[in-house]
Amino acid sequence: MAEIYKYAKRYRSQVMTALDNNPTTKRTQLQHKFEQVIALMEDNIYECCSEA
């Protein structure tokens, strides 16, 4: 999961652009869902680091 997060964070702007340019992903609000997943992952990583 951490590797997927690293990839998503590294290519965040390109993924967001691709999702924004696709009519299907716009209808399903996939861009918003992607942002939510990134935010959740950032919160989890922060909690894991702060507990160490």
Counted domains in the chain = 1
- Per the listing, tokens 């997943």 go with 37
pLDDT number for residue 1: 77
- Residue 15 predicted with pLDDT over 80: yes
Give the sign of the dihedral formed by CA 36, CA 39, CA 44, CA 45: positive
Task: Give the structural domain span for 28.
Answer: 2-51
pLDDT digits 0-9 by tens, 16-52: 999 999 999 999 999 999 888 888 887 765 544 444 4
Q: Is the pTM of this model over 0.85?
A: no
Nearest to 14 by CA among 40, 34, 36: 34
User: Binning pLDDT at 50, 70 and 90, where does residue 3 land?
Assistant: confident
